[in-house]
Amino acid sequence: MRTASEQTLWEIQAYGAKKSEILESVQDSISFQLSGPGMVISSYLSDAQEVMQSGSERALNDARQYINIAKMLMMEFELGFKERLL
């Protein structure tokens, strides 16, 4: 189990910001308010595709973080995931 400090460091490495900050920003966005989380996720994935075209190491890291954010949002808003019955 991670300490709070370790979790924050992991989130910054994975997402480029703290998860709570990303969620707040997403939920405050006009895209989220008008179209829901699917549109925001699509935007992050499109941004990842766009930055990958440059091929620089920084761009690839940015793309990785955008993809990680999209995955986190899919799990947070339970898109495409169903509770597994045992």
Is residue 47 situated within a structural domain? Answer: yes
- pLDDT score of 77: 93
pTM given for the model? 0.90
Burial 37-50 (b: 16+ CB within 10 A, else e): beebbebbbebbee
Number of domains in the chain: 1
Burial class from Cβ neighbours inside 10 Å (0-12, 13-18, 19+) for residue 26 reads buried
Is residue 81 situated within a structural domain? Answer: no
Tens-level pLDDT at each residue, the chain (86 residues): 899 999 999 999 999 999 999 999 999 999 999 999 999 999 999 999 999 999 899 999 999 999 999 999 999 998 876 666 66
Is residue 83 situated within a structural domain? Answer: no
Residue 54 lies in domain:
4-76
